[in-house]
């Protein structure tokens, strides 16, 4: 058996191996395709690049200096609502398929940094869902436990990383799609402050609120990818026109003493899952041990902001992207997705402005609250759902967004970090949410927590301690 068969594809391990000459980008691409073929029932991919195309990309990367390519030879994939020139984009709906002439801004930057794109990844149709099973094709399978949903909507993106197929993936996040699947698959899901990363070339769910997240095995890997894709884009008016270096996670100092916010106990809903509640309490104790001081806050303004995006006139923005497809090809759209988007037709323009004005007030209020702490600490999800439970009751999808819906409408950075396993062996993800542009601080706290917890990376056989030695 090749030594590569047991190799972790995390960035630190690959970068070290490249510098030592133990393998080449072509070797890693071959190993990635071997793993994908062996784990085909994960259904992580909707379009896998031909092997020859990926090998040609590996050769082009190898022909350039390693020092000029910060992501040299790192295999990755993107969610299938992100354009890659010459590859079909479907957002999980064949009736919508088109082949773009140009790649999305994030893909252009990743390719320039030396990463190797292996394909387009599975997703909840139209990025409308947090469970990962709102699909008309076979749904991605949770990399750790096939009984659990994979999380969505960036399901395939998370599964590909957790299963060891890629070093990282890029998804899209409107209300938690870059964090919920991370929690379900025991990996990191980094969602930057809105505006730091361009969304040019995305097929939007809600253009106003969509943010590109990074999925990776470690906080440090996510940091490296974020550093490569962050920065203004002259073709995307939504990007923040300030130097990306101000937010480079690599410049973050160790956490030291810090203050973290917790909701009032009556505002923490675990939907009857006491196993999840106990693990959350244990992780809060770990944060105390890292130098943290808890501060209790009122979570209601945050929760209200989350409801405004998914249960208000603001959902009408989805109709702009997908309404025509829904009307012309209703048979091609998943019933739960059709219902969510169809609700947009019941609101008036005045309803929309009323919701926007309320959201502005909530932004001001919550920003004042977060200015006094380093992070708001929450479970990424309050419980873990099985495929059978979601199939029996699709409305359970909303439970998954309780602690994630609000981050983008409030313009906040957030990430989900693996924080060990529950007593029943299932993964637990902790969310850290910060004030706008405190991405570096969140990264430092998340790295410290991941280092303290340690343990298994994703669904792989590699531990955090092994790659950190």
Q: Which residues contact 386 (CB under 8 A, 6 or more apart)?
A: 147, 148, 149
Cα 345–chain centre separation: 29
Q: Is-contact 233 200, C-beta < 8 A?
A: yes
Q: 439-453 vs 274-289: helix axis angle to the nearest 10?
A: 100
Phi/psi for 222 (5° steps) reads -60, -40
Alpha helices, DSSP H only, in 256-348?
274-289, 300-310, 316-328, 335-342
Q: Is-contact 217 460, C-beta < 8 A?
A: yes
pTM flag (> 0.85): yes
**Which pLDDT value is given to residue 243?**
45
Q: Is-contact 231 244, C-beta < 8 A?
A: yes
**Which pLDDT value is given to residue 240?**
85
Strand order in the sheet with 414-421: 45-48, 116-121, 75-79, 168-170, 214-216, 188-191, 414-421, 427-433, 375-379, 258-263, 292-297
2 catalytic residue (yes or no): no
Q: Is-contact 209 309, C-beta < 8 A?
A: yes
**Which pLDDT value is given to residue 328?**
83
For residue 38, the surrounding DSSP H or E stretch is: helix 25-38
How is residue 284 written in tokens? 């809060």
Q: Hey, what's the torsion of the CAs at 24, 29, 32, 37, to 10 degrees?
A: -140
8 catalytic residue (yes or no): no
Alpha helices, DSSP H only, in 178-268?
180-185, 219-229
Distances in Å between the Cα of 291 and the Cα atoms of 90, 255, 256, 288, 465 are 46, 8, 6, 5, 22
153 catalytic residue (yes or no): yes
Ordered domains of the chain (ranges, CATH): 3-468 (3.90.1300.10)
Q: What is the pLDDT of residues 254-274, one digit of tens each?
A: 567 899 999 999 999 999 999
Q: Which residues contact 356 (CB under 8 A, 6 or more apart)?
A: 314
**Which DSSP state fits 392?**
H
For residue 378, the surrounding DSSP H or E stretch is: strand 375-379
Query: 171, 159, 163, 420: which is closest to 285 by C-alpha?
Result: 420
Residue count of the chain: 469
Q: What is the pLDDT of residues 160-216, one digit of tens each?
A: 999 999 999 999 999 999 999 999 999 999 999 999 999 999 998 888 899 999 999
Catalytic residue, candidates 177, 198, 312, 431 = 177
Nearest-angstrom CA–CA distance, 438 and 252 = 10
Query: 225, 205, 406, 403: which is closest to 320 by C-alpha?
Result: 205
Q: Is-contact 378 281, C-beta < 8 A?
A: no
Half-sphere exposure of residue 383: CA atoms within 13 angstroms, side-chain side: 14
pLDDT, averaged per 10 consecutive residues of the chain (469 residues), comes to 84 97 98 94 96 98 97 99 98 94 99 99 94 95 98 98 99 98 99 97 90 98 96 92 53 72 98 98 97 98 93 77 80 82 78 92 98 98 98 96 98 98 97 95 95 98 94
């Amino acid at each position: 058996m090749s030594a590569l068969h047991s190799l972790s594809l995390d960035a630190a391990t690959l970068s070290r191996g490249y510098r030592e000459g133990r393998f080449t980008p072509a070797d890693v691409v071959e190993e990635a395709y071997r793993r994908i073929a062996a784990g085909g029932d994960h259904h992580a991919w909707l379009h896998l690049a031909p092997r020859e195309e990926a090998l040609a990309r590996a050769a082009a990367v190898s022909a350039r200096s390693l020092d000029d390519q910060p992501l040299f030879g790192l295999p990755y994939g993107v969610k299938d609502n992100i354009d890659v020139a010459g590859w079909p984009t479907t957002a999980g709906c064949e009736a919508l398929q088109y082949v773009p002439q140009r790649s999305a801004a994030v893909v252009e930057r990743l390719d320039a940094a030396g990463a190797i794109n292996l394909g387009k990844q599975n997703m909840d149709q139209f990025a409308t869902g947090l469970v990962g099973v709102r699909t008309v094709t076979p749904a991605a399978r949770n990399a750790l436990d096939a009984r659990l949903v994979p999380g969505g909507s960036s399901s395939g993106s998370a599964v590909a990383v957790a299963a060891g197929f890629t070093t990282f993936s890029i998804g899209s996040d409107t209300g938690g799609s870059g964090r919920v699947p991370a929690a379900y698959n025991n990996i990191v899901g980094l969602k930057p402050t809105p505006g730091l990363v361009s969304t040019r070339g995305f097929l939007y769910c809600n253009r106003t609120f969509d943010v590109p997240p990074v999925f990776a095995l470690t906080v440090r890997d996510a940091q490296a990818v974020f550093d490569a894709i962050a920065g203004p884009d002259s073709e995307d008016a939504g990007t923040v026109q300030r130097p990306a270096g101000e937010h480079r996670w690599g410049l973050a100092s160790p956490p030291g003493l810090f203050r973290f916010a917790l909701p009032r106990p009556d505002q923490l809903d675990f939907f009857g899952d006491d196993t999840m509640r106990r693990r959350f309490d244990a992780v809060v104790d770990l944060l105390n041990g890292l130098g943290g001081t808890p501060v209790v806050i009122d979570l209601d303004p945050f929760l209200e902001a989350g409801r405004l995006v998914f249960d208000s006139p603001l959902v009408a923005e989805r109709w702009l992207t997908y309404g025509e497809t829904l009307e012309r090809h209703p048979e091609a759209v998943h019933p739960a997705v059709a219902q969510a988007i169809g609700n947009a037709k019941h609101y008036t323009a005045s309803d929309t402005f009323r919701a926007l004005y309320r959201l502005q007030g909530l932004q001001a209020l919550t920003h004042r609250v977060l200015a006094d702490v380093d992070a708001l600490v929450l479970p990424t999800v309050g419980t873990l759902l099985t495929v059978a439970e979601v199939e029996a009751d699709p409305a359970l999808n909303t439970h998954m967004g309780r602690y994630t819906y609000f981050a983008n409408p409030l313009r906040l950075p957030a990430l989900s970090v693996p924080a060990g396993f529950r007593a029943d062996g299932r993964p637990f993800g902790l969310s850290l949410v910060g004030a706008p542009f405190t991405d570096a601080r969140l990264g430092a706290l998340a790295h410290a927590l991941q280092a303290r917890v340690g343990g298994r990376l994703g669904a792989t056989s590699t531990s955090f301690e092994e790659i950190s030695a």
